[in-house]
Chains A and B, each alone.
Chain A
Amino acid sequence: MSFQSALGRKLQRLGAPPASGRKDVATTPAPEPPALAPAPRSTPDAAGPSPGLGVPETTAHGVLHVTRRRYGPDHCHGRVAVSSALSARSEHVAALALDPSLAGLPMERALLLDTETTGLAGGAGTLPFLIGLGWFEPGGTLELEQLFLRRPGEERPMLARLSERLAAASCVVSFNGKSYDWPLLRTRFVMNRMPVPAPPPHLDLLHCARRVFRYRCDSARLTELEVAVVGHVRHGDVPGHLIPELYFAYLRGRGQGPLRRVLDHNAQDLAMLGALLGHLAERFAAPGEELDARDALGLAEVAFRARDHARADAFAGLAARAPRPDLASAAMVIRARVCWRARDVAGAVAWLERAVALAVGPLAARLHLALAKLHEHRMRDLSRALHHATQARGAEPPPRGVRRLQRLKEKLERAAAIRPSSARPPGPSAS
């Protein structure tokens, strides 16, 4: 390689590019693709052995490289049948997602979407080189279509196919797709000067799962949920952070073998989307005794926020049995709020009294304050109100708290001053 310009000669002396953030440079021998153990699949793949990097399909926009796989109606991802997603009722899905636009959509026309990309940073230079799509056939079979970018610059047929699938779908189901996959895909349409398709309603299971499993799972990473929630363990999976390097190694002619495993990884992610959706909807549909109290609390909160108060109360009842007092207390607060919404003030007060007995710290102070207000203004029980107000320190700014205590004490004194004259007979000394 020769450099013609003065700049080129200067660069030659410069050596490796400065501050590139790259892990390797060409002065060292090109790295072998990371050696990975052969992939034993944990679940039998209905499509048989791993396919290549796609079968060419000629489209109006150019050649597309497609890998198709099918998961039959009985195929399980861990403990959960992938096809259980089909039984999800859209109003439950809408509640789980806190997104009313999802209600009434035919879930059998949902499009599962997951991409593999050349980097996590996003921006115009990050390519989704694999777009994984999935949908259910009438018999309950999950049909996967994985679109592979054979090399940069050939995105148009892939994006055109995505546009078609989106147009036919009732909604998109993804994991973190709202803030990651979709903005990236949107960018690709702009970069290729193609009209950005108007996306159908988007069900992002990351947010649903984070809300439901927040008391059980520390992170809402897909692989953690996969183990903890649907009971699926991947063997020989490609670690996500290696995926960009594998693609670049493939581009530079260092073998496509490891990339096949990226396709498998993507297929597993898509299967997990179906299983997670099915599992969430199933749990939401039927509050059952077997439910983990921590999940029950998460579900109760979601149902309450979705204004499904009866369901919230049922889940909160299950969650109130939690061994951790803070969770039980939180569940009782939800029951109190359900009562309050039903204008059952006495019920709300009763649940709050039980909740406050278990609560500690700032939550306890806030509950005491709520009880002080309810007792003062609704229950007209000034001594209970004063009892709670004295323990509500820190729940409101000091001047207001001081005024509240002052007022309650005055009210109590006034009541005490009135009561003896009317209710009690005058003492003997008065005569």
Chain B
Amino acid sequence: MRRVEGAPADVEGAFQAPRTIPWAAGPGGLEHVLQRWRSDRQLWPHFALDHSVPASAGSTRDFPEDLAPGVRRALERRGIRQLYTHQAEAAALVRAGRDVVVATPTASGKSLCYNLPVLDRLAREPGARALYLFPTKALSRDQEEALKALLRDAELPHGAITYDGDTPQDARRAARDRAGLLLTNPDMLHSGILPHHASWARLLANLRYVIIDELHTYHSVFGSHLANVLRRLDRIARFHGSTPAFVFASATIGNPVEHAARMLGREVAAVLESGAPTGEKHVMVYNPPVVNAELGVRESYVKRSVKLAADLVRANVTTLLFGQSRNTVEVMLKYLRDALVERGVDPSVVQGYRGGYLPGARRDIEAALRAGQVRCAVATNALELGIDIGALDAVVCAGYPGSIAALWQRFGRAGRRGHPSLALLVCSSSALDQYFAAAPELLVGSPVEQARIDPDNAEILIQHLKCAAFELPFEEGEPFRELQPDATADALRYLTQHEVVHAVPGAGGRQVFHWSTDAYPANHVSLRSAGWDNVVVIELGSDRVLAEMDFRSAHTMLHEQAIYQHDAEQYQVERLDLPNRKAFVRKVAPDYFTTAMTNVKVTVIEEERRSDVFDRGLVAAGGEVSVVEKVVGFKKIKFHTHENVGYGEVALPELQLHTTSLWLTVPEELVAQIGAPRPAIIDALNGIGNALHTVACVGLMIDPRDLGRAMGSAGEGGAPAGSGGTLFNPTIFLYDHVPGGVGLAGRLFEQRVELLLRARRLVENCACGDGCPSCIGPSPGARRPEDGLGPRRGFCLEVLGHLGVQALQ
């Protein structure tokens, strides 16, 4: 969007309240802070990267000549007289009837890529309808306002209505009967619209476009679910006589085209070059200094992030401080407010923002950020998505968010047109962070991660086939979009066996599979998790609901005696009622917080592939496994000093996960050949597992949270890692941390040789002595120096040599 002089400087929509606090100017600004950092001889040496991405001018094109005049006028009223090249390209492709994916950086004007052709179509075909999917309710509300203004200015009579769990009954009817543009989320499409599609006949019969924004958020389980919801939508739209075109918008990911094609089950045209201008951006990496070289322990990245953010806030630089987890966000919020109070700054200019906050509170914080009343938000990835908080001057990431894509989505939050901005990563001492601290140029130059989904994940697929059978009986020989008829038929037979569907001879002698239970299947399928409900956090005494947490996280964050942190306050969990999904907490003022300790046990269910590696006896295999996770205890960590001040026990049921895994087994003969005490060998293999996990995540661009790691035994009766039991044929497992798996393990198996070689190089090149989190993990204290095996890291290399993993020439 090229703007004329004097046009409002916001993104399209022009609906948000004007800024009430002026932008900071003069010596207090960003440049001043950077100058001070650069001249600070204590601080500056620890900056591992100071890279400047120059401003770019952008490139534009004229509107299409035949653009509907009303739409043209509406854009011109917003000061838009030309399109950025990516907007023009996308509009042309969509108008030509293609399915399109647009993947350009944050804040490049992606929404116009789809809004322009949609509005143009409405102007030509008043009966046309479009469906917009956003991953969160908040985004739909944001876009509804923008679209309504755009429709009004384009003099189009169509309504834009958000349909989600918060939509009142009357508005639901209006949405069904009248909405030209329906905005919703995948969950509502799945459980509210598709099962009741007959009531949505008007929308579905005239459905021309389906817009899916924030495509990058639909990866892993959620993405695999969405692909299946889209399979159902495809079936139902056909039933009502329409074949809509799909437009995907994505932040930068490594494989937008492949991802969109997998999501849609067919080829998709791509628009990947942004024509939008950008301001200068300083990309910096700070690596906290080592305070204990032997253990590889560094200065706390959390505290350093807070100090750097405090410098920015005090200089009036609007700043977003991202934390890794809800816990760190709360800790940083507390520290940052404390730091500001010390310096006489009003602490309310800093606010927390994370998933557990209730929607009303989040809306208030968003508005205060836009208005400038809040100068700094401390956030989890709840703010990664396109929530409109206006432009910011600085983004500080406390810890690497797990993927380059996620890092850049966070970094993309900084930058006002024509102003320099700061994107700063403060590395933690974890393996990936240190990997990038050692090679920070990778953050700027290397390709970003790929989004992976597996629509044919059996557990996910079968749930959606049930929903699909409920929505419309299946006929024999019918495919499920790109799922072939024979596979579909097998799945239907399976459902018939379990009396979920019932086959009846239909016209032409073909079987028709009718839904045949009294359940409403969509209610039993949650798109966002593996089907577990959230746990509600309730404050004892006031009975106030503080927050909600997913079932899996509740095991590690809401176990009894855990310190639960919310809005910079600490609460202790007094009772966790898992069957009723409730955790009861009471406010306390401890000097510590807690982190859970988890045991993992992996059992092989079926070996699907197997191969020797390096001819010394090491065996790589892949297939289905069962993973049992159990929280066995917790550590108490003292605030500020981060000392370990005690332990506690936890009695919680196990969590079971069926998934796919790669495993590397060291046969007993090979263990014997190494000729060292067994515990030392197990420790070394554990370290190799740690290194493999790191190189797998970096090399294959996997979010570390999506890849689980455990030690165990091949065959029956594997002992849990760390339990001290004897491991027969010790085995390293790397598994998809997702029920059913999304295909990570399969790719790891294919690249097993490369993986092992890279792991060796990582261990070789590490600067530590006895092992640190960046290579084989810190010493568990199990080994004594007198065993004569030398430093752990060296012994680990020796073991790798025995396995046949040699140094690269």
Contacts and interface: CB of A to CB of B under 8 A. Distances in A.
Given A122-B196, A125-B469, A152-B504, A248 B531 contact: no
A18 B531 contact: yes
Contacts of B487: 5-8
A267 B463 CA distance: 37
Interface size class of A (residues with CB under 8 A): 35 or more
Contacts of B506: 153
A116 B489 CA distance: 30
A232 to B, nearest CB: 27
A16 B498 contact: yes
B461 A183 contact: no
The main secondary structure of chain A at its interface with chain B is loop
A400 interface: no
Given A5-B487, A22-B517, A248 B499 contact: yes
Most chain B CB neighbours (cut-off 10 Å) among A14, A19, A244: A19
Given A7-B487, A26-B499, A121 B520 contact: yes
Given A152-B514, A152-B516, A248-B517, A125 B195 contact: yes
A21 interface: yes
Nearest to B196: A123
Interface stretch (B521-529, B592-600, B789-797): B521-529
Nearest to A9: B490
A13 B605 contact: yes
B214 interface: no
B280 interface: no
A13 B499 contact: no
Given A14-B459, A22-B499, A4 B490 contact: yes
Contacts of B639: none
Contacts of B387: none
Contacts of B472: 124, 191
Nearest to B457: A10
Contacts of A125: 195, 469-471, 515, 520-521
Given A19-B525, A26-B498, A125-B195, A7 B520 contact: no
A92 B377 CA distance: 63
Nearest to B624: A13
Contacts of B657: none
A422 B461 CA distance: 93
Interface string A105-122: 000000000000011111
Contacts of B519: 20-22, 119, 121
B491 interface: yes
Interface in B22-75: none
A310 interface: no
A8 B195 contact: no
B580 interface: no
Contact of A11 (B201, B470, B490, B499): B490
B502 interface: yes
Contacts of A122: 196, 520
A122 B470 CA distance: 11
B516 A118 contact: yes
A124 B515 CA distance: 10
A123 B499 CA distance: 19
Interface string A277-297: 000000000000000000000
A18 B624 CA distance: 17
B491 A11 contact: yes
A25 B498 contact: yes
A152 B197 CA distance: 19
Given A4-B486, A13-B605, A124-B472, A245 B518 contact: yes
Contacts of B195: 123-125
A252 interface: yes
Nearest to A191: B198
Contacts of B516: 118, 152, 248, 251
Contact of A5 (B463, B473, B484, B497): B484
A228 interface: no
Contacts of B606: 13
A17 interface: yes
B466 A123 contact: no
B110 to A, nearest CB: 34
B518 A153 contact: no
Contact of B524 (A21, A190, A251): A21
Interface in A16-45: 16-22, 24-26, 30
A11 B500 CA distance: 14
Contacts of A121: 518-520, 523
A11 B494 contact: yes
B458 interface: yes
Given A5-B486, A8-B494, A19-B524, A251 B462 contact: no
Contacts of A186: 198
A3 to B, nearest CB: 5
B502 A124 contact: no
Contacts of A118: 516, 518
Contacts of A151: 504
A191 B473 CA distance: 10
A342 B459 CA distance: 69
B642 to A, nearest CB: 40
B461 A187 contact: no
Given A7-B491, A183-B199, A190-B198, A123 B497 contact: no
A12 interface: yes
Given A26-B497, A125-B469, A190-B198, A14 B486 contact: no
A17 B500 contact: yes
A244 B517 CA distance: 7
Contacts of B605: 13
B504 A18 contact: no
Interface in A148-206: 151-153, 183, 186-187, 190-191
A65 to B, nearest CB: 15
B499 A252 contact: yes
Interface string B428-468: 00000000000000000000000000001011011100100
A1 interface: yes
Contacts of A30: 499
A16 B524 CA distance: 14
Interface in A72-120: 118-120
A62 B531 CA distance: 43
A104 B490 CA distance: 58
B512 interface: yes
B470 A124 contact: yes
A20 B466 contact: yes
B802 interface: no
B493 interface: yes
B198 A11 contact: no
A7 to B, nearest CB: 4
B495 interface: yes
A125 B471 CA distance: 5
Nearest to A118: B518
Contacts of B520: 21, 119, 121-123, 125-126
A1 B497 contact: yes
B780 to A, nearest CB: 36
Contacts of B461: 7
A317 B490 CA distance: 70
A189 B485 CA distance: 28
B201 A17 contact: no
Interface string B652-692: 00000000000000000000000000000000000000000
9 shortest interchain CB distances as A-B pairs: A8-B490, A125-B470, A121-B520, A244-B518, A119-B518, A152-B514, A190-B198, A21-B519, A125-B515
Interface of B: 195-199, 201, 456, 458-459, 461-463, 466, 469-473, 483-484, 486-487, 489-491, 493-495, 497-500, 502, 504, 506, 512, 514-521, 523-525, 531, 605-606, 624
12 contacts: A7-B461, A14-B462, A17-B462, A17-B463, A17-B466, A17-B495, A18-B463, A120-B518, A121-B523, A124-B195, A190-B198, A244-B517
Given A14-B459, A123-B470, A124-B195, 9 more contacts: A1-B497, A16-B498, A17-B463, A19-B525, A21-B517, A119-B517, A119-B518, A127-B514, A152-B473
